[in-house]
């Protein structure tokens, strides 16, 4: 459904206010060929109206010859900023970067944040942005979950389909994604609504059974035939099943990189305005699947890099797998039961 420019300007003003944008601060809008023109124009209007100095930095896309889809998360590691010191300098000198391009999992992003610059990623189409406009309540909910993750030593995930995964944790920081950037050096993604961390190196073990309706990203497909994965010493060591397993194996094999199979971020969705079914309504080209990642009660399993949290693993391949109907336990305390988000006050 189309969104009016007025509604988008209002949405940006809301998000920039939550992000504590002040008059005379410098905002740089990072764009590329995939940037949505309405998102760009309305961001510029909203930030200018708030008294900020607004720049646009437009960079040419890279990796087209390497990626297997048009999804901006389909090939990680190098970005248009790699080796582009002039562009990095401009972004480091900005108070706030609006990333309408996708810098995720890049060392340049970490370098920019270290200097105190905030980065807000926003690449979903306008109607998704306005439907999942972030709120203070989102931050509170995600913060409670993050506090529980912070103290836990193990995440365990089970399901009636056969998943039984043990994820020792504590080596990596907990990351909160609530959709705005209210502290210096903070990165976030509008829209979102989940918290996550990464399992300790080489310690995750067990079995993951993807059931019908679980989602594969960046494929943006619903699993129709079960996929069974064995996890040993932090890596997925086998992926078996029917057609969906064959498709996943073939995609991942193309990267020819054993690090692609490492367990990456782990967490669960907490966004009640995100829906499991939304992905089925969209062309694959039109979304990166944030409804799928954020819908309340999904266990978000993933494979690939851990440099986003300060780890040393970089790999171009990243697979996100929102799973339904799982039970998630932190040190034996349930936080999600059979795919339903438990109110954390009542979690027991």
Please report, as ranges, the residues that interact with Fe ion according to CB under 5 A.
302, 320
CB 198 within 8 A of CB 306: yes
Q: Which is nearer to Fe ion, 54 or 216 (CB)?
A: 216
Q: How far is the CB of 308 from Fe ion (least distance, A)?
A: 8
Q: Which is nearer to Fe ion, 11 or 252 (CB)?
A: 252
Buried b (16+ CB within 10 A) or exposed e, 24-58: ebbbbbbbbeebbebbbebbbbbbeebebebbebe
CB 119 within 8 A of CB 99: yes
Q: Which is nearer to Fe ion, 28 or 72 (CB)?
A: 72
Cβ neighbors of 277 (< 8 A, separation 6 or more) are none
DSSP string, 8-31: HHHHHHHHHHHTT--TT-EEEEEE
Q: How far is the CB of 4 from Fe ion (least distance, A)?
A: 32
User: Which residue in the shown chain puts its C-beta closest to Fe ion?
Assistant: 320
Q: Which is nearer to Fe ion, 52 or 292 (CB)?
A: 292
Cβ neighbors of 267 (< 8 A, separation 6 or more) are 145, 149, 194, 195, 196, 197, 300
Q: How far is the CB of 302 from Fe ion (least distance, A)?
A: 5
d(CA 155, CA 267): 9
The H-assigned helical ranges of 115-176 are: 126-131, 136-151
Q: How far is the CB of 225 from Fe ion (least distance, A)?
A: 23
Q: How far is the CB of 64 from Fe ion (least distance, A)?
A: 21
Q: How far is the CB of 179 from Fe ion (least distance, A)?
A: 16
Q: Which is nearer to Fe ion, 96 or 294 (CB)?
A: 294
Q: Which is nearer to Fe ion, 73 or 152 (CB)?
A: 73
């Amino acid at each position: 459904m189309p969104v009016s420019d007025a509604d988008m300007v209002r949405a940006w003003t809301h998000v920039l206010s939550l992000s504590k944008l002040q008059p005379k601060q410098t905002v740089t809008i990072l764009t590329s060929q995939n940037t949505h023109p309405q998102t760009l124009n309305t961001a510029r209007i909203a930030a200018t109206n708030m008294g900020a100095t607004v720049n646009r930095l437009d960079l040419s896309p890279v990796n087209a010859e390497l990626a297997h889809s048009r999804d901006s998360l389909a090939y990680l590691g190098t970005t248009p900023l790699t080796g582009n010191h002039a562009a990095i300098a401009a972004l480091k000198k900005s108070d706030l970067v609006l990333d309408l391009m996708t810098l995720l999992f890049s060392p340049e992003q970490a370098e920019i944040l270290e200097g105190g610059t905030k980065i807000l990623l926003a690449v979903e189409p306008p109607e998704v942005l306005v439907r999942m406009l972030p709120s203070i309540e989102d931050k509170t909910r995600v913060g409670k979950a993050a506090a529980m993750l912070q103290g836990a030593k193990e995440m365990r995930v089970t399901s009636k389909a056969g998943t039984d995964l043990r994820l020792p944790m504590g080596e990596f920081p907990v990351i909160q994604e609530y959709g705005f950037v209210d502290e210096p050096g903070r990165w976030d993604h509008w829209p979102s609504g989940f918290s996550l961390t990464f399992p300790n190196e080489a310690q995750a073990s067990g079995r993951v059974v993807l059931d019908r309706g679980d989602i594969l990203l960046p494929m943006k497909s619903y699993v129709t035939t079960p996929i069974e994965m064995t996890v040993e010493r932090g890596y997925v060591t086998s992926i078996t099943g029917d057609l969906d397993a064959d498709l996943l194996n073939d995609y991942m094999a193309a990267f020819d990189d054993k690090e692609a199979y490492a367990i990456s971020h782990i967490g669960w969705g907490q966004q009640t305005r995100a829906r499991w079914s939304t992905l089925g309504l969209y062309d694959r080209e039109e979304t990166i699947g944030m409804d799928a990642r954020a819908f309340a009660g999904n266990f978000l399993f993933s494979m690939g890099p851990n440099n986003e949290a300060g780890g040393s693993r970089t790999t171009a391949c990243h697979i996100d797998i929102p799973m339904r109907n799982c039970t998630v336990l932190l040190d034996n305390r349930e936080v999600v039961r059979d795919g339903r988000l438990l109110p954390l006050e009542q979690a027991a």
